[in-house]
Structure 1
Amino acid sequence: MRIGFLRVLTLALIAGTLAGVVHSRPALAQEPLLPIEDWGRTASSGIDTFLILQTNLQPPYQHLRDGILGGYSISVLDCAFERIGVGYGLALAPRQRNREMVRTGRADGFFLARLSPVLDEYAVPSYPLALEKWVWISKRGSVPDRGGAQSLKPHASAPVGTILGSNEAEWLTEENYQDILHAPSMASLIAQVAKGHVDYVLVDKQSFEIARNELGFGSELFEMRFERYVPLVVYFSKAYLLRYPDFLDDLNNELEFCETLPMTLEPWERAAIERNQLPLIQKMAGASKLIANTRAELTEPAHTAETRKLLDLEWTAKVRGGELSTLASEILENPLSQYLREFQKASGGHVAEVFVFNLRGEVIGMNRVTSDYDQSDEPKHQMTGNINRGHALIDDIRFDASTRAFLSHITVPVIDPDTGNVMAALTVGLDVSSALRPES
């Protein structure tokens, strides 16, 4: 039960009493006073699971306004913790200090972090909260143009810049970059590029654009080249999870219900999918074996709307509990599903899931169990009524908990070659982290 909801800077003054793990320290000149947010809730079991999470300022994921810590990741965590009934507090510190506090047992977790074998030694990651889009930034005209958004990255011997202690800084070191400028903030990093002091910097696209606009720089001053997508997670200390072994599973189960907005596909990303992935998916939809297996499943008797609803409720409830309904088990074993599994395995990791649904929106084949059975309330089903041979629906990017990947769902019609009519629809969940890498 919620017994408090305070987001004020003055709580930092009582942090030691409130949580016992947040230590007072002198505030740095460029650093805000450490805020703590206290919900004071307990789990339904009655055991006090209150925990302290460390974070840093990184708009739009975490930002501080009028002493209140907010942002995309904060709203997602608020939602998930509320759903599981666990109280948590937040403290701000530089990223490197956050990791060290978790490693030494002075905090229960920190975010946002990329997946890292080093962090895995003393902490366990949650499902992703966000997906960063890392880009190389250079001053326009200062380096040769190498072909637009999907150009290759700078050579490891090139001087590059990034933010001190950032996820990007760790990755650059792992990639054996030798000449790295570590700036204390995004604003400082952008200034270094604008002055021509460093040729390339590696940053998150959203964070860069926010800081650039705040500094009053126009986009025309910079070149931008895509590097990769990076899922960001919360790392929880292994010591905390030993005390509360069910906590992380409970939190992960709720995160999929707390995402607020998809990541919009940029024009070049959509064009890349249409150029590189869509022709293969459309070829798959017209394959004689897929059509034959689809026809076989369409001979099954139709369910009433009420039966379909009950089957969907059972399906989704079982999936959330890590089980399969009888219907899901039967569909997974049919020839159509077996054929879809072959297609997914042959995709080289680009396809995370693939399924076929009939004109009523019922899944009739799938490589793995989908999160729900009835697709009739989805835009991809609503398009089947007036779809034509050349049409496709390409969705924006969302995190899919069932595959633990960030997907763009692409739906195309399955056409009956004898009549020319739509007989079903094929949906492919494209793993953008794999499929849209420059080297892909």
Structure 2
Amino acid sequence: MSDEVSQADDDGIENFLILQTNLHPPYQELHNGTLGGYSVSVLNCAFERIGVGYGLAVAPRQRNRELVRNAQADGFFLARISQFMDEYAVASNPLALEKWVWVSPSRRAVEASNVKVPKPDGVATIGAILGSNEAEWLSEEGYTDLVRVPSIASLVGQVAAGRVDYALIDKHSFEIARNELGIGAEQFLVQFERYAPLVVYFSKRYVAKFPDLIDRLNTVLEFCETNPMRLEPWERDAIERVHLPAVRQLARSPDLIRNVRAVMERNRMPADQRRLVDEEWTTMARLGEPSMKARAVLGNQLSEFLRNFQLTSGGQVAEAFVFDVYGQIIGMNRLTSDFDQSDEPQYQMAQNINRDHALIDDIRFDASTRAFLSQITVPILDPDSGQTLAVLTVGLDVSAALRPES
């Protein structure tokens, strides 16, 4: 086992903690003997912000979980959210979103006229990395006789050689391993299965001793996660074909337009006043509380309309809000992180001369909804004049909206 310990502030000595992890590029990887990667960078940022020192210990996944279960370590990452781990540990907000795919030899596409992902009661040979999040999920879903291999390189190699019919694996990690092995993409068939949010699990023993740490960590994580997950062409196509028309239909809805007109701010708020309103809104939103202005917006009829829309979305929509041509929030299904949208890319929608324009954002974790979202933004037009009345943003929960069965 090797340790890589971060710097601890004087105030963080008392609650200094050790987190277990494993090597899992690009999330945790060694660079010249130093542990780095995306998740380590996020944690370094977050712990520095809250003034808590921590160290890292590298070991296999299964051993990491057992150390936390037996109260021999303070926590481990990255892990999928699981009711079994919830029994002995407490999860943070997600640090990353994995995209799990079924990888099979490309020749299977020729052998079968309609290639489908394997079922738990099928005869195909299923492979996964020993002790991985994917292996645990497969077992829980009823897949038996799994081929568990020690490393991702070994798993990819066995698929390429035809010894494993299907492997369940994170797409990004698979592509890194495939490139390192020098195997061409044309030798594999890749089919999307699901998104898997990954978290840090803290032992209940540590949480009992320092009960406010996870809340403090969650509060700053949103400021440390700087890399959005790019929408792949098939994901963007699915949003454009299935979800964008529904959002545009909502924006043209006479009921929505009537509610927008009923609550529209007729004048631009003076800059000084808007700044103060936004500061109070943002500060209280970080505490999970609405400011006086936010409470008023949440209570209006437009917000009630948006809440009803979200509730009837089948879980595919996590948020919906409307801001006026000045960038001021005038309706929302739930509390947004800020009031003033004039510094956001979505604000440009208000003055865009192309009335058919829509903005579809890449995937980011949204702390207020605790979901990974892709936001769709469209203008709300006056049906008489064609001028922009306001702008509608709908946040799709990609884990629900882009799963295969949807």
TM-score scaled by structure 2?
0.97
Is 2:117 the partner of 1:153?
yes
**What's 1:361 paired with?**
327
Is 2:396 the partner of 1:433?
no
Deviation at 1:38, TM superposition (A): 3.7
Q: For 1:188, give the aligned amino acid.
A: S
Is 2:104 the partner of 1:141?
no
**What's 1:201 paired with?**
167
The equivalent position to 2:40 in structure 1, one of 56, 74, 79, is: 74
- Per-residue CA deviation, residues 36-77 of structure 1 (Å, 9 max, x unaligned), is 314232437xx6110000000000000012110000000000
Pairing of 1:75-224 with structure 2 (within 5 A): 75-143=41-109, 144=111, 152-156=116-120, 157=122, 158-224=124-190
**What's 1:7 paired with?**
none
Runs of 4 or more above 3 Å deviation: 143-147
1: CA distance between counterparts of 2:397 and 2:84?
Answer: 25
Pairing of 1:262-301 with structure 2 (within 5 A): 262-301=228-267
Q: For 1:371, give the aligned amino acid.
A: S
**What's 2:7 paired with?**
39
Q: Any gaps of 5 or more consecutive residues in structure 1?
A: 1-32
Equivalent position SS for 2:168: strand
**C-alpha distance 341-361 of structure 1, shift in aligned 2 (>3 A):** same
Deviation at 1:306, TM superposition (A): 1.6
Deviation at 1:298, TM superposition (A): 1.7
Q: Does the Cα contact within 8 Å between 1:152 and 1:438 map onto a contact in 2?
A: no
Equivalent position SS for 2:350: helix
Q: For 1:224, give the aligned amino acid.
A: V
**C-alpha distance 38-76 of structure 1, shift in aligned 2 (>3 A):** closer
Q: Does the Cα contact within 8 Å between 1:57 and 1:92 map onto a contact in 2?
A: yes
- Per-residue CA deviation, residues 15-54 of structure 1 (Å, 9 max, x unaligned), is xxxxxxxxxxxxxxxxxx513314232437xx61100000
- Aligned CA RMSD, in angstroms, stands at 1.3
Q: For 2:385, give the aligned amino acid.
A: T
1: CA distance between counterparts of 2:195 and 2:9?
Answer: 35
**What's 2:308 paired with?**
342
Equivalent position SS for 1:409: strand
Q: For 2:93, give the aligned amino acid.
A: Y
**What's 1:261 paired with?**
227
- Per-residue CA deviation, residues 322-345 of structure 1 (Å, 9 max, x unaligned), is 211100000001000000000000
Q: Does the Cα contact within 8 Å between 1:387 and 1:413 map onto a contact in 2?
A: no
2: CA distance between counterparts of 1:410 and 1:120?
Answer: 33
Deviation at 1:146, TM superposition (A): 6.9
**What's 1:5 paired with?**
none
**What's 1:23 paired with?**
none
Deviation at 1:390, TM superposition (A): 2.0
**What's 1:327 paired with?**
293
Deviation at 1:378, TM superposition (A): 0.5
Report sequence identity in percent. Answer: 62
TM-score scaled by structure 1?
0.89
Equivalent position SS for 1:308: helix
Q: For 1:39, give the aligned amino acid.
A: Q
Deviation at 1:302, TM superposition (A): 2.8
The equivalent position to 1:252 in structure 2, one of 205, 214, 218, is: 218
- Per-residue CA deviation, residues 99-158 of structure 1 (Å, 9 max, x unaligned), is 0000111100000000001100010000000000000001111245677xxx85312123
2: CA distance between counterparts of 1:250 and 1:299?
Answer: 35
Q: Does the Cα contact within 8 Å between 1:43 and 1:84 map onto a contact in 2?
A: no
Q: For 2:405, give the aligned amino acid.
A: E
Q: Does the Cα contact within 8 Å between 2:3 and 2:55 map onto a contact in 1?
A: no
Q: Does the Cα contact within 8 Å between 1:42 and 1:49 map onto a contact in 2?
A: no
Q: For 1:43, give the aligned amino acid.
A: D
1: CA distance between counterparts of 2:128 and 2:192?
Answer: 15
Q: Does the Cα contact within 8 Å between 2:11 and 2:52 map onto a contact in 1?
A: yes
Equivalent position SS for 1:43: helix
Q: Does the Cα contact within 8 Å between 1:127 and 1:252 map onto a contact in 2?
A: yes
Q: Any gaps of 5 or more consecutive residues in structure 2?
A: none
Equivalent position SS for 2:374: strand
Q: Does the Cα contact within 8 Å between 1:34 and 1:91 map onto a contact in 2?
A: yes
1: CA distance between counterparts of 2:319 and 2:61?
Answer: 35
**What's 1:304 paired with?**
270
1: CA distance between counterparts of 2:331 and 2:65?
Answer: 44
1: CA distance between counterparts of 2:138 and 2:353?
Answer: 46
1: CA distance between counterparts of 2:221 and 2:334?
Answer: 20
**What's 1:50 paired with?**
16
